[in-house]
Structure 1
Amino acid sequence: MAVDIRIPVFIQDPVAAGERGMEAMEWVRLRSEEAVLDGPVSPRVAVLDLDASNGRLRRGARYQPPEHDGDPGTFRLQDPGRLDAPDVIQVSVFGAVLRTLEMFEEDDALGRKVRWGFEGSQLLVVPQAGEWANAFYQRESRSLQFFYFRHPLLDGRREERIYTCHSQDIIAHETAHAVLDGILPDLYHALSPQALAMHEAVADLTAALAAFRCRALVRQVLKAQQGSIASSGAFSAIGEQFGRALGHPAHLRDLLNEKTLKPIDGGKPEDVVTTLEPHALSEVLAGALYSVLLRLHEALKDELTRKQQARTSLVAPTEVARQTVSPEEAAAPPPLENQGFVAEPAWQEARRRVSRKALAVATSRFKRSLYRGLDYLPPGEVSFADLGRAILAADEAAHPDSGEPRQWLCQEFVRRGIVSHPDELRVRTNYSHSALARVDLDTLAKSDWAAYDFANRHRGFLRIPRGRSFHIEPRLVVEKLSYAAGAHARRRVRECIFKVSWKVDEPDEVPGGELPDWRQVTFGTTLVIDCETRRVRVLLTSDRDVTRKLERDGMVRWLLDEDLLRVGKEALGPNGKPLCGAIQAECSGGVLRVVGTAHMLHMVEERSFQGGGG
């Protein structure tokens, strides 16, 4: 049985919250953990508050069980108003990590508990890991590490300490890296720039989704922006205080952008991303997906302002029914200002309430399709187009009658040069196949031998190369909510997610002769089966386009130029452990294998990257 706790969590960093006239923290209730102890510690998350000055652990915050049945537990804080107090930092970081986990695991998203990408059950969270302008997830240490750094004040005589753990968007971003590593562990060793950039884009979008859950922030922004989020950086800006302290105009990255892989008519030349650096490249994908969310919010707001229910091609009636709003708000006419008059405050508040409801529906739909798309992604070297196809398939499964947002995603991917034509995103869904006619799905899910035998007998169906050995991942059988427009509009559907991967040796055509002529990369297939009908919900295989191979050449070239790629013992320090600033490579039988490329995915990329695709 889950423990119910109520704890404070930072809404935004102190600077951003102050500029928006908001309190720095809000109290949230969390119910995802089976036990909570001093620290804070739970079965899945443990805060280790390191004192970098002496290397010792600070005393952890004390848990206070509820006094009465039905009340939530909490933590004793000596001075809740002191934002840099160790116990306040410990508890707020713990809460932000759990809040992000819950967002992934909700029954209308993944519908299951996430697994970590490392051996062991606990993610270690170090809120004050030392003095450095950075934050990152690291699989090897099973940890999230948040640093602090000093920044001079305007008078030039004093310094303030900037804590990366004071920013909910940074915490959500790094937690998303850890979750994504559990869902798609092959990405941690990916050589494809788009695969690494996908890690960054999903983490940034998770930070935005976490911000949309802050009620005070949503109310403040919708009031200030007349019910719109189309021009607000409160949700789209990543690392505001952090970015400014490092000399950026306002933030590290912004999801509200026009970044593209090809020139857009009327667009700015600086919006064309020619680099393969994952952080910069991620803005193209994140911007494309975020624009779909904005468009869905505006469309829902317009629909719900004029009538009680949005059109079913946009969302299913049950999606809207999950959010409560009064009939008066739902039926509110357009504001009088559209007719040349000043709107009454009552109409303004009604409009904002409708906008809040539209935003809740839009973000829920967006979260559901994005996170389920991660489950559908194939293993190995994947591309932005792969994620697009996975999201479209997951969205169709969850919202079969509401296809407008899927059309918008296709349009946006074409507009930004991710694909050249919508047909590149088209996938076959919901069909019968002879391979599934007699298979026992329960045995397939539970037995590794049965899973291997199935894959070996159906290599062609699963697109496994002939004669190639393969790896079967643990199967997932998950119940997920589906929203349709008919009589059984909202129902639970059981899916079996079957993933198989294999290694391929491809030519390493990076000039210089320092490395072997071949390198090893991973590809794979995801098969999603409807357990009730035995139909194929979707079958997706990772991108083998020649352009992705040229981009991997560019990545290897840049790693060599920056002296980041170290082979064998050169990647180890004097203590025999891997160097934090190096990407490790192994050579065997004339083939290069690169591991841990995700080490580049720190919050800040400190090196320039101008590598090309070929």
Structure 2
Amino acid sequence: MRNVGGTRHSLRSTRKLSIIAQDPSVTVEGKIVRASVDVPAEELLPGPRGYRVVVVDYDVTANALYASAELPSGLEGDYLDPFDKASDAKLLSDPRFHAQNAYAIAMRILARFEFALGRRIKWGCEGHQLNILPHAFAEPNAFYSREDRSLFFGYFESRPDKNGATRTIYTSLSHDVVAHETTHAILDGLRARYLEPSTPDQGALHEGFSDVVALLSVFALEEVVAAVLDGKPSDQLIDQKHLTKARLSQSVLFGLAREMGQELSGVRGKSLRHSIELKPGRDYMDDPDYLEVHARGELLVAAMLKSFLDIWISRLGRIGTITDGQKDRSLVVEEGARAADHLLTMAIRAIDYCPPVDLSFADYLSALLTVDREVVPDDKYGYRSALLANFADFGIRPSTHTDADGSWLRCNKEMIYSRTHFDSMLRDNEEVFRFVWENRRSLEIGDIGYIEVQSVRPSVRIAPDGFVLRETIAEYVQVLTLRVEELEEDFKVSLPEEMERWRSVRILGGGTLIFDEYGQLKYQIANHLLNDEADVARQGRRLRHLWEQGYFDQQDRTGSFAALHLSRSGVKETVR
């Protein structure tokens, strides 16, 4: 088979594009820190418009359509980057670079998920393509909208400086913001029920996980690590006194938070700075101040970033000094970026090992530990021990349905396999539903509620030794609608006295099934409907929380990232 141009060789799979590596306010020696990143190579229409991302540069506030960015084809030669040598002023002022920046970061994050999970990832919205509006409106906000199939990025004027001058802040130029919103769209595609109103942890994980992906993907860029390490990126050596957890926290994490400035604090919610400042050794989980989703999400960010520092330091222990306590700076930077990249892979893969409904931080921690144990049993760099210790520092411990090491228990129950077909089980919802139905007693699903298999996905992972781990990930959901009085009388669910007895409520259960390459069930990771006292207590906590939040009085009960993100900027929501 011949490709375009007559060659029988494979075409290039990636191309390089320039992006702003973190935020325009992060500078080294007076210059914006930028990076040249790999993104999937594709033939683009003006916009750029590709097979997964479509940039539509329309400004609602100004009622203006900006000129489309055009990225040249590489079929007849090399893929060229039109902003490779551009000045900082050009990057800040040219809307076409803003479009390229948003496109490249979104595609990089999508490709990172697909690499970690070993399969194509769908967006949470309908269709194959996600719209990106890099200058959507004059407002300090950025959000993902499932209904509009879009990411919206606002712009606004900064606070006056000491001379009274202001400048325009574009959220589409912040790697952190673009990666965060892209992750919302991807996570919605992986677990659609995570946008369902639930306990505080589930909404907080959507925010915290998006922050974790955004920040670790930043630290996986060597340009960023080198820029904020000790302020001397041109030196070839670095004193090991700068490489303690306390010093790295001050230089790398606090340094980046400080450089990001105040302009984006409303859009970002100051999550990086707050997460670093949280004092470990305290149980935050029942603290009323940490029930709001952004505040609670900071606990997840804090635990992951402190784990990142521990892992980085562990890896640095294998690097010797060159002279007088000095280490090779390039190796230090490389190990930091590698630690961030590995932890990012774990964070992404863990989603496959989470229950599909009523997710808790404890569930996510157990998923992290399990997915890493599956691929790297020996844990020679101490990733799992670092995660356990740092999550515990903020009151987060593994789920109760786990092994001694905090990972999920293997499924050792007798199952009926002879009535289902192995090949169909790899991809067919109906075939997996047959398996679930035949084994509903062994799976402890029970006989009440509506059951639906929502997805069946393949997963391919490469272990450090080069061996391939193949799995099939299936998720099923149980739905039951009944009156408050039925929940209390028939199932002994404790609910607020103020809830009307006649009110109908919907409760959810469900599980994730992990099959090995031979079609045998390895794990069932479930939050059941009403199987035991723990399920009854979980349903009661969820409904009490929703009642206290006024959920049952709202007309739109699906939640809105637009309103949620706007609330932390201090700007009142406007209706268009």
Q: Please, what TM-score do these two structures have when normalized by structure 1?
A: 0.77
Determine if contact 1:4/1:72 at 8 Å carries over to the other structure. Answer: no
Residue in 2 that maps onto 1:418? 396
Question: What SS is found at the alignment partner of 1:274?
Answer: helix
Q: Work out the CA distance in 1 between the residues paired with 2:509 and 2:278.
A: 28
Residue in 2 that maps onto 1:550? 541
In the TM superposition, 1:503-522 aligns within 5 A as: 503-505=479-481, 507=484, 509-510=495-496, 512=498, 517-522=503-508
Residue in 2 that maps onto 1:274? 289
CA, structure 1 residues 504+110, in 2 after alignment: closer, same or farther (shift >3 Å)? Answer: same
Q: Work out the CA distance in 2 between the residues paired with 1:333 and 1:262.
A: 33
Runs of 4+ in 1 over 6 A off after TM superposition: 76-79, 247-250, 420-423
Residue in 1 that maps onto 2:487? none
1:117-172: CA deviations, max 9, x gaps?
Answer: 12101111011111111111111111111111112322464322111112111111
Q: 429-438 vs 199-208, which deviates more?
A: 429-438
CA, structure 1 residues 262+441, in 2 after alignment: closer, same or farther (shift >3 Å)? Answer: farther
1:167 aligns to 2:192 (yes or no): no
Determine if contact 1:260/1:271 at 8 Å carries over to the other structure. Answer: no
1:358 aligns to 2:335 (yes or no): yes
For residue 558 of structure 2, the aligned residue among 592, 595, 603 is: 595
Determine if contact 1:7/1:27 at 8 Å carries over to the other structure. Answer: yes
For residue 461 of structure 2, the aligned residue among 457, 465, 480 is: 480
CA, structure 1 residues 441+601, in 2 after alignment: closer, same or farther (shift >3 Å)? Answer: farther
Residue in 2 that maps onto 1:263? 282
Unaligned runs of 5+ in 2: 1-10, 232-237, 485-493, 529-534, 572-576
Deviation of 1:600 after TM superposition, in Å, equals: 5.1
Residue in 1 that maps onto 2:119? 112
1:166-216: CA deviations, max 9, x gaps?
Answer: 211111111111111111111112322100100111111111122123322
For residue 449 of structure 1, the aligned residue among 405, 424, 430 is: 430
Determine if contact 1:260/1:417 at 8 Å carries over to the other structure. Answer: no
Q: Work out the CA distance in 2 between the residues paired with 1:600 and 1:510.
A: 27
1:22-73: CA deviations, max 9, x gaps?
Answer: 4343332322x5432211110110111113344232220122223853x224
Residue in 1 that maps onto 2:359? 382
CA, structure 1 residues 300+220, in 2 after alignment: closer, same or farther (shift >3 Å)? Answer: same
Deviation of 1:393 after TM superposition, in Å, equals: 1.3
For residue 190 of structure 1, the aligned residue among 178, 197, 219 is: 197
1:575-602: CA deviations, max 9, x gaps?
Answer: xxxxxxxxx1xxxxxxxxx423655542
Give RMSD over aligned pairs: 3.5
Question: What SS is found at the alignment partner of 2:356?
Answer: coil
Q: Which amino acid aligns with 1:281?
A: R
Residue in 1 that maps onto 2:96? 87
Determine if contact 1:190/1:196 at 8 Å carries over to the other structure. Answer: yes
Residue in 2 that maps onto 1:254? 273
Q: 395-404 vs 121-130, which deviates more?
A: 395-404
Q: Which amino acid aligns with 1:517?
A: R
Q: Work out the CA distance in 2 between the residues paired with 1:401 and 1:137.
A: 39
In the TM superposition, 1:158-557 aligns within 5 A as: 158-224=165-231, 226-227=242-243, 229-234=248-253, 241=260, 243-244=262-263, 251-254=270-273, 256-257=275-276, 259=278, 263=282, 274-302=289-317, 304-305=318-319, 332-333=320-321, 336-337=324-325, 347-348=326-327, 350=328, 352-402=329-379, 404-419=382-397, 425-429=406-410, 433-436=414-417, 439-483=420-464, 489-505=465-481, 507=484, 509-510=495-496, 512=498, 517-532=503-518, 534-542=519-527, 544=535, 546=537, 549-550=540-541, 552-557=543-548
1:96 aligns to 2:105 (yes or no): yes
Question: What SS is found at the alignment partner of 1:146?
Answer: strand
Determine if contact 1:441/1:531 at 8 Å carries over to the other structure. Answer: no
Determine if contact 1:236/1:256 at 8 Å carries over to the other structure. Answer: no
Determine if contact 1:90/1:127 at 8 Å carries over to the other structure. Answer: yes
Deviation of 1:515 after TM superposition, in Å, equals: 9.5
Question: What SS is found at the alignment partner of 2:423?
Answer: helix
CA, structure 1 residues 192+271, in 2 after alignment: closer, same or farther (shift >3 Å)? Answer: closer
CA, structure 1 residues 449+166, in 2 after alignment: closer, same or farther (shift >3 Å)? Answer: closer
CA, structure 1 residues 597+248, in 2 after alignment: closer, same or farther (shift >3 Å)? Answer: closer
Residue in 2 that maps onto 1:51? 59
Determine if contact 2:60/2:137 at 8 Å carries over to the other structure. Answer: yes
Deviation of 1:372 after TM superposition, in Å, equals: 0.8
CA, structure 1 residues 2+187, in 2 after alignment: closer, same or farther (shift >3 Å)? Answer: farther
Q: Work out the CA distance in 2 between the residues paired with 1:538 and 1:335.
A: 50
Instruction: Name the % identity.
Output: 24
Question: What SS is found at the alignment partner of 1:446?
Answer: coil
Q: Work out the CA distance in 2 between the residues paired with 1:92 and 1:41.
A: 13
Deviation of 1:525 after TM superposition, in Å, equals: 0.6
Question: What SS is found at the alignment partner of 1:38?
Answer: coil
Residue in 2 that maps onto 1:570? none
Question: What SS is found at the alignment partner of 2:473?
Answer: strand
Q: Work out the CA distance in 2 between the residues paired with 1:336 and 1:457.
A: 68
Determine if contact 1:255/1:290 at 8 Å carries over to the other structure. Answer: no
